[in-house]
C-alpha cells in the first residue's frame, strides 16, 4: 500500500510511515495532515487500495484524475 500511495501521489505525498499504537490492539488508521481518512473500526476492516487512493485523492488533490479508478 505504501508503495502504491507514493507512486500514485508522488507530488502530493512526501512520506508514508507506520506508528504503533500500544494502548489498543488491532488499531489501523490512515491519517493525512491530522485528518482521519480510514479507520478499521469505523469503516469495517482494511481498505482496498482503490478506495484508499480515492480517499487520499479527495483529500489531497480533489481535481486529480485517477484514470481507471474513477470508472464505476
Which residues touch 16 (CB under 8 Å, ≥6 apart)?
A: 2, 5, 6
Torsion sign (Cα): 35, 48, 51, 49: positive
Please report, rounded to a whole number, the percentage of residues in the chain having pLDDT higher than 90. 61
Q: What is the pLDDT of residue 57?
A: 92
Q: Tens digit of pLDDT for each residue in 38-70? A: 999 999 999 999 999 999 999 988 888 887 666
Q: Which domains does the chain have, with CATH numbers?
A: 2-70 (3.40.30.10)
> Model's pTM, two decimal places?
0.81
What mean pLDDT value characterizes the chain?
A: 89
Q: What is the pLDDT of residue 69?
A: 67
Model confidence at 24: pLDDT above 80 = yes
User: Which of 49, 62, 65 shows the shortest CA–CA distance to 16?
Assistant: 49
Amino acid at each position: 500500500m505504501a508503495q502504491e500511495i507514493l507512486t500514485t501521489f508522488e507530488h502530493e505525498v512526501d512520506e508514508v510511515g507506520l506508528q504503533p499504537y500500544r494502548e489498543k490492539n488491532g488499531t489501523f488508521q490512515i491519517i493525512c495532515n491530522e485528518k482521519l481518512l480510514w479507520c478499521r473500526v469505523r469503516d469495517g476492516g482494511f481498505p482496498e487500495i482503490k478506495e484508499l487512493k480515492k480517499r487520499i485523492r479527495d483529500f489531497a488533490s480533489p481535481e486529480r484524475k485517477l484514470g481507471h479508478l474513477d470508472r464505476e
